[in-house]
Every structure is written in C-alpha cells, then in structure tokens.
C-alpha cells in the first residue's frame, strides 16, 4: 500500500495521530476499525495500521482453517 503525504491525519474516530498508511475502505471494513465518513481511501496511523494488520491476519488464518 502507498505511503501517505505529510500532515494527513489518521481517519479513525477519536484518533489524532498523523497517518502513515493508506488502505481502501473495503480492506478496513474487514476489521473492527471504524473511520469517519465514507471515503474510498482510508488513512491510518502507525498504531491503527498495526491493529488492522493484526485483525485481518487473524481473519485470513480463520479462513485458511475453514477451507
């Protein structure tokens, strides 16, 4: 995923950190992370990107077990 311009804020509700990564809204909807508005690009800070990665990794592992 692409890097983010300086000065862009994380879009997670209540989070005021600067964004580090951008994801598609679809990717983020697969986690429990809730973002403001309904933009197609979602900007996440370091911490929320880590949370997203952790949650979606768990999901991929569950899918793997299911098949």
Which value, in Å, is the radius of gyration of the alpha carbons in the chain?
Answer: 12
Tell which positions 13-32 bind Zn ion, by CB under 5 A: 15, 17
Given candidates 4, 12, 33, 35, which one binds Zn ion under the rule CB under 5 A? 12
Q: Which stretch binds Zn ion (CB under 5 A): 10-18, 23-31, 32-40, 56-64?
A: 10-18
Q: Which residue has the tokens 């994801």?
A: 23
Following DSSP, what letter does each residue of 8-49 receive, concatenated? PBP-BTT--SBP-EEEEHHHHHTSS--BSTT-SEEEE-HHHH
The verdict on 8 binding Zn ion (CB under 5 A) reads: no
Given candidates 10, 28, 35, 42, which one binds Zn ion under the rule CB under 5 A? 10
């Amino acid at each position: 995923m692409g890097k983010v311009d300086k000065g862009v804020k994380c879009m997670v509700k209540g989070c005021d950190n600067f964004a580090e990564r951008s994801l598609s809204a679809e990717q983020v909807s697969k986690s429990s992370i809730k973002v403001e508005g309904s933009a197609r690009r979602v900007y996440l800070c370091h911490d929320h990107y880590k949370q997203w990665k952790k949650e979606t990794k768990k999901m991929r592992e569950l899918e793997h077990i299911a098949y």
